[in-house]
Amino acid sequence: MIGMTKPSAAVPAVDLPDEAAYLETVAQARKAADAYYGSGESGLDDETYDRLLRGITAWEEEHPGQVASDSPSRQVGAGVTTGDVMHTVPMLSLGNVFSDEELAAWAASLERRLGGEAVAGWAVEPKLDGVALAARYREGRLVQLVTRGDGATGEDVSHAVGDITGLPATLNEPVTVEVRGEVLMTEAQFADANEQRTAHGATAFANRRNASSGSLRAKDRAYRVRQTFLAYAALTGPEHTDDAGLAALTHTQLVARLAGLGLGTTAGTPVATTACATLDQVVARVREIGVLRPELDFELDGAVIKADSPADQDRAGAGSRTPHWATAFKFPAAQKITVLRAVEWSVGRTGVIAPRAVLDPVDVAGTTITYATLHNPADIARRGLMLGDHVVVYRAGEVIPRVEGAVAGLRTGDEQPIAFPEVCPRCGAGIDRSQERWRCERGRVCGQVEAVRYAVARDALDVDGLGEKIVVQLVDKGLIEDFADLFTLTRDQLLTLDRMGEKSADNLMAAIEAAKTKPLNRVFCALGVLGTGRSMSLRIAAHFGSMQAVRDADAADLEQVDGIGGEKAPVIVAELADLAPLVDKLVAAGVNMIQPGFVPPASGGADPDAGTTAGTAGGELPLAGLTVVVTGSMTGPLAERSRTEMTELITSAGGRASSSVSARTHLVVAGENAGSKLDKARSLGIETITPEELAERLGGLLGGEN
| DSSP code per residue over 72-140 | GGGSGGGG----SEE-SS-----EEE-SHHHHHHHHHHHHHHTTTPPPS-EEEEEEE-SEEEEEEEETT
Domain boundary among 62, 79, 96: 79
Q: State whether 251 and 277 are in the same domain.
A: yes
**Residues 385 and 391 sit within 8 Å (Cβ to Cβ):** yes
CATH number, residue 357: 2.40.50.140
CATH number, residue 237: 3.30.470.30
CATH number, residue 644: 3.40.50.10190
Does residue 190 sit within a domain?
yes
pLDDT beneath 50: ranges in the chain:
1-9, 39-40, 76-82, 602-618, 704-706
Query: Residue 242: exposed, middle, or buried by beta-carbon count in 10 A (0-12, 13-18, 19+)?
Result: middle
CATH number, residue 55: 1.10.287.610
**Residues 238 and 205 sit within 8 Å (Cβ to Cβ):** no
Phi first, then psi, for residue 295 (nearest 5°) are: -95, -5
Domain boundary among 379, 408, 432: 432
Domain boundary among 470, 495, 515: 515
In 3D, which of 685, 661, 2, 663 has the Cα closest to residue 305? Answer: 2
For the stretch 244-261, pLDDT in tens is: 788 889 999 999 999 999
For the stretch 616-675, pLDDT in tens is: 434 578 888 888 999 988 999 998 888 778 888 888 788 888 877 888 899 999 998 887
**How many residues does this entry show for the chain?**
706
Query: Residue 293: exposed, middle, or buried by beta-carbon count in 10 A (0-12, 13-18, 19+)?
Result: buried
What pLDDT, on a 0 to 100 scale, did the predictor assign at position 49? 66
Q: How many domains does the chain have?
A: 5
What pLDDT, on a 0 to 100 scale, did the predictor assign at position 6? 31
Q: State whether 341 and 321 are in the same domain.
A: no
* Beta strands, E only, 554-699: 627-631, 656-658, 667-670, 687-689
Q: State whether 232 and 123 are in the same domain.
A: yes
In angstroms, the CA 350 to CA 444 distance is 4
In angstroms, the CA 610 to CA 624 distance is 7
What pLDDT, on a 0 to 100 scale, did the predictor assign at position 12? 64
Q: State whether 378 and 360 are in the same domain.
A: yes
The enclosing H or E element of 516 equals: none
* Domain that residue 42 falls in: 19-79
* Beta strands, E only, 282-350: 300-307, 326-330, 335-347
Spatial CB neighbours of 603, under 8 Å, sequence gap ≥ 6: none
What pLDDT, on a 0 to 100 scale, did the predictor assign at position 609? 37
Does residue 478 sit within a domain?
yes
Phi first, then psi, for residue 243 (nearest 5°) are: -70, -5
Does residue 265 sit within a domain?
yes
**Residues 63 and 23 sit within 8 Å (Cβ to Cβ):** no
What pLDDT, on a 0 to 100 scale, did the predictor assign at position 675? 77
DSSP structure class, residue 669:
E
Does residue 558 sit within a domain?
no
The enclosing H or E element of 372 equals: strand 367-373
Q: State whether 165 and 136 are in the same domain.
A: yes
What pLDDT, on a 0 to 100 scale, did the predictor assign at position 656? 81
Q: State whether 379 and 399 are in the same domain.
A: yes
The whole-model pTM stands at 0.57
Q: State whether 173 and 67 are in the same domain.
A: no
What pLDDT, on a 0 to 100 scale, did the predictor assign at position 702? 72
Q: State whether 350 and 485 are in the same domain.
A: no
Q: State whether 268 and 307 are in the same domain.
A: yes
Does residue 292 sit within a domain?
yes
In angstroms, the CA 83 to CA 363 distance is 37
CB count, 10 Å around CB of 697?
14
Does residue 601 sit within a domain?
no
Partner residues linked to 240 by β-bridges: 237
The enclosing H or E element of 260 equals: helix 251-260
Q: State whether 615 and 473 are in the same domain.
A: no
Does residue 312 sit within a domain?
yes
Pairing verdict, β 164-165 and 177-184: unpaired
Q: State whether 342 and 326 are in the same domain.
A: no
**Residues 328 and 95 sit within 8 Å (Cβ to Cβ):** yes
Q: Which residues does the annotation mark as catalytic?
A: 127
Does residue 395 sit within a domain?
yes
